[in-house]
Amino acid sequence: MEDATAETALAWRDALRRGDVSAREVAERYLRRIEAHHELGAFLAVIGDQAHSDATAADARFAATSRSERSTLPRLHGLPIAVKDLVEVAGMATTRGSAALRHRVATADAPGVAMLRAAGAIPLGKTQVSELGLTGYSENAIAPPARNPLDPSRTPGGSSGGSAAAVAADLIPMGPGTDGGGSIRIPALACGLVGLKPGLGAVPGDLAAAAPSLHDEFGAPRLTVSGPLARDPADAAMLFDAQRGATREPALAAVRAADELTGLRIAYSAASPFASVYPIALSAESGCAFEAARERLAARGHRIDEATFAYDPEYPEAFTTSWTAGLSRLALAPDAAARLMPLTSLFRERARARTVEAHERAGARLRDFAADARQQWGAYDAVLTPGLTMLPPRVGTFTSMHPDDDYRLQCEWAPFTSMVNVSGLPAVAVPVMRLPTGHAMGVQLIGRIGSESQLLQLAAQLTSP
């Protein structure tokens, strides 16, 4: 497809605030691109009329603001975004990627969407996801699969795969995602983007009144957080600052000062807790990206130490049990249950067959894992791991398999992400290489609590010449 490396989100933001371009012109530009590239399957629904109305209102606000007061405009004034279809947008149906559920129209925005609207962002629509956000690819029974703009025969990952495809193809300048086991970082790595998974609680809306606890109903660590998908670290920082409602833009300021960061102690490890049950092997391309990242960080004056991390061999079973425990509460009539995807259906049956005590034991095991991982990783300022172990599989690969083989391949492809969700710590996915074939390869950096800005600085160092 045509080159999709147009203006950065930050450049669009600045042009809008100067009045060089109107919000309506920007919205129309992206709506045309969405229509022109519908074959990517990135969008499930587009709200062009509402976007035009919102953009017109943004332009009226701009016209009523004097030049000397333009700094008071919302920080994302007029910038288009899209929302993955696990998240409510007022006036739009929420499908959660499932043919088994009723697609109710939301009466209000989810907290994270409300925060971005207040910051001036304009939603253009809802993007493709995996069913209930369960898998690391974005294929379901309600719409065509999302495809990777770098190679449309391959998956863009999941569950934020539609949003990642939209950002990578320049159908939106940047986009919010959610991440419960890698759902921001996997698509970012697959599509050559920067994807930040903040620490639990860093984005206020993630611990809203409906779910304020750090643990789920079975006592497992709460996994899902909101974060940005962007084409570069500065765009990711700008969106992250807006998502958390920061008074100024501390993450963006940090990225702009990234060259000043040096002297960190960074662990270098390809250990995965899934290695106790699945063969975890890096492809040549993945290993090359991992080594390139190590060399670049060392050249920036950081101390890179090869670390030997030891993980609980029972992690795979405990994580799988806790990851799917919520399915035990999914009440469906038999005809609706028959419309579930095969993996969802099988894992729901198993979850419903377990006792509450079994789910609670798995939750306790993950709490212990989280404490141990934080202690091991806490000896360092950051931990560098590989990103994905291989190129993204082709669309249809996962769904053509038995659900157990589907899940196994997901764990073998992305064996380094879910452990970070369990720990509650922040992590960032960073593109490091573009292969001659056009595919991307990247790495993951894990930080300490509250280190999101520092992780974005490291991302800037990895992606700068």
Three-class SS state of 434: strand
CA 308 to chain centroid: 28
- Residue 213 annotated among the catalytic residues of the structure: no
Angle between helices 233-243 and 452-463 in degrees, nearest 10: 160
Q: How far apart are CA 281 and CA 358, in angstroms?
A: 31
pTM of the entire predicted model: 0.97
Q: Which residue has the tokens 């702009």?
A: 256
Dump the DSSP string for 235-290: HHHHHHHHHTT-SS-HHHHHHHTGGG----EEEE----GGGGTS-----HHHHHHH
Three-class SS state of 137: coil
Cis status, amide bond into 159, omega within 30 of 0: yes
* Cβ-Cβ contacts under 8 Å for 224 (sequence gap 6 or more): 133, 178, 179, 180, 183, 206, 421
* Max Cα distance, the chain (Å): 64
250: phi then psi, degrees, rounded to nearest 5:
-65, -35
* Alpha carbon separation from 349 to 98, 216, 324, 332 (Å, rounded): 16, 20, 10, 12
- The structure tokens listed for 429 are 């996915």
Beta carbons within 10 angstroms of residue 343's beta carbon: 23
- Residue 159 annotated among the catalytic residues of the structure: yes
* Cβ-Cβ contacts under 8 Å for 239 (sequence gap 6 or more): 9, 76, 174, 175, 176, 228, 230
Ranges in the chain, pLDDT < 70: 1-6, 209-211
Angle between helices 284-299 and 452-463 in degrees, nearest 10: 100
* Cβ-Cβ contacts under 8 Å for 5 (sequence gap 6 or more): 170, 231
pLDDT at position 210 is: 55
70, 111 Cβ separation under 8 angstroms = no
* Helix or strand (DSSP H, E) at 382: strand 382-386
Q: Which of 159, 272, 322, 328 is catalytic?
A: 159
CA 419 to chain centroid: 15
Q: Which of 22, 160, 183, 418 is catalytic?
A: 183
pLDDT at position 98 is: 98
Q: Which of 84, 138, 160, 322 is catalytic?
A: 84
Three-class SS state of 6: coil
pLDDT at position 207 is: 86
Helix, strand, coil percentages for the chain (3-state, nearest 5): 45, 15, 40
Choose among 122, 105, 95, 124: nearest CA to 37: 124
Q: How far apart are CA 178 and CA 186, in angstroms?
A: 11
- Residue 226 annotated among the catalytic residues of the structure: no
- Please name the amino acid found at residue 250: P
pLDDT at position 33 is: 98
Half-sphere exposure of 206 (CA within 13 A, CB side): 26
pLDDT at position 211 is: 66
Q: Is 80 left (phi over 0), alpha (psi -120 to 50) or beta?
A: beta
Q: How far apart are CA 187 and CA 166, in angstroms?
A: 11
Torsion of CA 373, 418, 88, 81, to 10 degrees: 100
pLDDT at position 5 is: 37
Choose among 122, 96, 228: nearest CA to 175: 228
